[in-house]
Amino acid sequence: MNETVMQHKALLALLVLVTIAFVWILLPFYGAVFWAVILGIVFAPLQRRLLARLGWRRNLAAGLTLFICLVIAILPVIIISTLLVQEGAALYKSIESGELDLAGYIERFKNILPAFAQNFLERMGMGDLAGLRDKIAKGAMQGSQFFASQAFSFGQGTFDFLVSFGVMLYLLYFFLRDGAELVRKIRTAVPLAEQQKRRLQLKFNRVVRATVKGNLVVAVTQGALGGIIFWILDIPSALIWGVLMTFLSLLPAVGAGIVWAPVAVYFVATGAFWQGAVLTAYGVFVIGLVDNVLRPILVGKDTKMPDFLILLSTLGGLAVFGLNGFVIGPLIAALFISSWAIFVSTKPQVQLPS
């Protein structure tokens, strides 16, 4: 009996060591593995529909699903990222050369403010316009150097990017084709009751789809709508502002309004009343209502998290995992809540003696 226990402990120790080693060698490609899993879960329903329509030919269904995913989800991100780098470099170059005088805009805005507001800006240290111009020029120089270094590092890391991208597509194909079988093997290995494993798997799938669809799709929609209205109103670098609104839309306590609202105020303050009115109405009734209209459709009520938890988990995920943290952070928070809910619901209640 003791020998059996010792063998079991030795096997567990070996399992832990091998698992740690396996995770360690996967760390250089954790982003590729992570997004392959996420996209596999999101596009799994489409793959199942295609599988039924194509006569249960798994290879063909997985390949077609991968192609659709590549066209509607992956290629647009690559194209927008490339255009964003180009437009960002052009913006900082125009600021550095003086073609775009941000300090001049601030000066005109300051001059039309009432006296008490100007005094407030003076106390905040924003009255020295010459110094403000120097700060903006210095920031433009640093921004130009940053984008140049990023472009150079991207050129140096092109091979690494292509390898990670290829690994993601390769894994995504097999996750789509063999995902159901892989999930069954994982469920068999997890040492939990069958009902608990089923609930945790369903919750995990719902949380992933809700996080991607409910957060990313809503944020991308708000950012795209904001970029379109900025382009219509001929605001410089509309793509950059649209991407910025996309990221800020992921933060429930901030939102895209922190970008378009000051611009609308500037329009009104500088006499461009119709532009300010159009931007305000568009921001409130179009951009602002996207969250209230789309999110309930894309996200079920059982996966809704408190706004403060979404904010904290998003910022924490961003700090720990970089850009991937926009998804990893809320996902971990949602699974934390779900796991504890399952534990509490299955925990035997202790009855106190009467």
Tell me if 348 is assigned to some domain. no
35 and 170 inside one domain: yes
Dist. CA 121–CA 345, nearest whole Å: 55
pLDDT greater at residue 41 or residue 302: 41
157 and 39 inside one domain: yes
Tell me if 102 is assigned to some domain. yes
Tell me if 48 is assigned to some domain. yes
pTM > 0.75: yes or no: no
Q: In the prediction, which pLDDT does 64 show?
A: 93
152 and 223 inside one domain: no
Three-class SS state of 110: helix
The residue-averaged pLDDT of 59-67 equals 91
147 and 285 inside one domain: no
Tell me if 352 is assigned to some domain. no
Q: What burial class does residue 87 get, using C-beta atoms within 10 Å of its C-beta: 0-12 exposed, 13-18 middle, 19+ buried?
A: middle
pLDDT greater at residue 63 or residue 300: 63
171 and 199 inside one domain: no
Range of the domain at 165: 27-175
Q: Residue 323 is which amino acid? A: L
Mean confidence (pLDDT) of the chain = 77
Please list, residue by residue across 315-352, b when 16 or more beta carbons sit within 10 angstroms of its beta carbon and e when fewer do.
Answer: bbbbeebeebbbbbbbbbbbeebbeeebeeeeeeeeee
Q: In the prediction, which pLDDT does 107 show?
A: 66
210 and 291 inside one domain: yes
Tell me if 186 is assigned to some domain. no
- Asked if the model's pLDDT at residue 352 lies above 50, the reply is no
CA dihedral (258, 261, 267, 268) in degrees, to 10, reads -140
For the record, the structure tokens of 15 come out as 């399992």
Q: In the prediction, which pLDDT does 112 show?
A: 66
151 and 220 inside one domain: no
- Asked if the model's pLDDT at residue 123 lies above 80, the reply is no
Assign 68 a pLDDT band (cuts: 50, 70, 90): very high
Count of structural domains within the chain: 2
213 and 118 inside one domain: no
Question: Is the alpha carbon torsion for 68, 87, 144, 128 positive or negative?
Answer: negative
198 and 147 inside one domain: no
Assign 42 a pLDDT band (cuts: 50, 70, 90): confident
Among 122, 140, 175, where does a domain finish? 175
Residue that the structure tokens 């991208």 belong to: 165
- Asked if the model's pLDDT at residue 69 lies above 70, the reply is yes
Tell me if 205 is assigned to some domain. yes
Q: How many residues are listed for the chain in this entry?
A: 354
Q: Residue 122 is which amino acid? A: E
